[in-house]
Structure 1
Amino acid sequence: MKQDYPRQGLRIRCEQGVHPEVRRACLEFGKWLRKEFEFPIRVVVYLKKDYQIKSQADKELVSGTFFGPFDKNQEPYIRIATGDYLELLEENGQDNALAAILGTIAHELGHYYQWVDDDYLELDDEGAENERDYMLDLYAQTREHP
């Protein structure tokens, strides 16, 4: 049963202070995602310059969060911390550092799809990790570097 929601699609919003290379890679990933996947309810990904962000549920410090409102007429959103990019860059190199951040986006999108499919009572990390791996594998086939 398909319901028409007010808006569809994926948007990426970048806070001032996010590293330009992270911004570029995330916007490029977003473009690709829009071609490959449907987003029946508009979801905005907010790229934050913070090292970590607090999850809303248990106030833990995490690298990404998904918020799916109970009312599907309200739009969900994702927040991604990118402040550890330079540290990841130094430890793992550019490709792996960017892949880690894109992986966080893909993981949270896994939760988005669980929410869209009304599996929001069980936003399980295993399902989100599978979605993450699937998206990153597909994306890696389209380019040499993130």
Structure 2
Amino acid sequence: MHIWTLENWKYNFTNIQSRRSGLRFRFTPDVNTEVRGACLKFGKWLRKEYFFPIRVPVYVKGKKYIKAMDGEMVYGTFFQPYNKTYEPYIRVATGSYTDNSITLGRDDALALILETIAHELTHYFQWINDIGLTKIGYERQASSYADYILDEYANVVDHP
């Protein structure tokens, strides 16, 4: 069972044909151009490999952190609306890319950002497929799938 290819969403959402689908990226002007390029390249590959039945925009910000709903400062968040007629969205902070690229190198710094996106997209697939786990279970599954997706992506690209 691969959560990204499950089709439980067909039973959870009515009138799916009238809804927008797909994965979209939106960038604030302060996002580094290398980060922007890597995200767009990753998004193109994701759209080719996986189906996103309900549109999920990924808002990529140039800040070091994003404030989550609970007030915690984090690198990424997934908003899952309680009302399933609304669209979810993801926010990702990329402001630490410059510092990370100096300490870790360009590829590893970009991989951290792509891993955050994959982690949050796993929460998207947990939401649309109505996966029931504990809070810790959700996070463990998201971390595990993020690593798996990045390994898949690493097999088809030389550099992020």
Q: TM-score, length-normalised on structure 1?
A: 0.95
1:141 aligns with 2:155: yes
Q: Give the structure, 1 or 2, with the largest relative contact order (CA under 8 Å, sep 6 or more).
A: 2
Give the aligned CA root-mean-square deviation in angstroms: 1.4
Deviation of 1:119 after TM superposition, in Å, equals 2.5
1:89 pairs with 2:101: yes
Cα distance, 1:122 vs structure 2: 4.4
Task: Work out the number of aligned pairs and report it.
Answer: 145
1:98 corresponds to: 110
Matching residue of 2:4: none
Pick from 12, 20, 24 the counterpart of residue 7 of structure 1.
20
Q: Structure 2 unaligned runs (5+)?
A: 1-7
Among 129, 137, 142, the residue aligned to 2:143:
129
Sequence identity (%)? 53
Aligned mates of 2:87, 2:145 — CA distance in 1: 21
- Unmatched segments (≥5 aa) in structure 1: none
- The answer as to 2:49 corresponding to 1:36 is yes
Query: Residue 64 of structure 2 aligns to which amino acid in structure 1?
Result: Y
**Secondary structure at the counterpart of residue 87 of structure 2:** coil
After TM superposition, where is structure 1 displaced by more than 3 Å over at least 4 residues in a row? 120-123
